[in-house]
């Protein structure tokens, strides 16, 4: 299963973000098989972070809880926002449409 956690941090809060990041860095739960992070600027909204997180389907529910707990310390940053989404592979998305390759 693939999970996308998107975060927004105001430009003037990047030092606070970095301090929290240092606290949680390297504490990836065992329910997660792979975690990749990327960032870009998001016009006037600040820094936008993309976290692609992989987990086994049987660990999905627990992994979602673990991800939320791991990201919770960032919520104390004023203006910080995040969204967690479960992604489909293209093969699975095609199955949802009732099609097959």
How many alpha carbons lie under 13 Å from residue 5 in its C-beta half-sphere? 20
Tell me the whole-structure pTM to 2 decimals: 0.85
Residue 36 has pLDDT above 90, yes or no: yes
Structure tokens given for 46 = 């600040």
Q: CA-CA distance, 3 to 28, in Å (whole number)?
A: 14
Structural domains for the chain: 2-96 (3.30.70.100)
Return the pLDDT at 3.
95
Number of H helices and E strands in the chain, helices first, is: 3, 4
Residue 39 has pLDDT above 90, yes or no: yes
Q: What angle do CA 38, 66, 74 make, to 5 degrees?
A: 55
Q: What integer is the mean pLDDT of 61-73?
A: 93
Give, for 2, the enclosing helix (H) or strand (E).
strand 2-9
- DSSP type of residue 6: E
**Residue 44: other Cβ atoms inside 10 A:** 7
- The answer to whether 83 and 6 have CB atoms below 8 angstroms apart is yes
Residue 45 has pLDDT above 90, yes or no: no
């Amino acid at each position: 299963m693939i999970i996308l956690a998107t975060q927004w941090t105001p430009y003037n809060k990047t030092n606070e973000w970095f301090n929290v990041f240092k606290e949680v860095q390297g504490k990836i739960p065992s329910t997660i098989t792979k975690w990749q992070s990327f960032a870009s600027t998001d016009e006037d909204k600040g820094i936008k972070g993309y976290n692609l997180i992989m987990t086994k389907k049987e660990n999905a529910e627990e992994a979602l809880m673990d991800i939320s707990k791991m990201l919770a310390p960032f919520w104390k940053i004023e203006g910080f926002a995040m969204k967690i989404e479960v992604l489909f592979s293209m093969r699975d998305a095609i199955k949802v449409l009732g099609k097959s390759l």
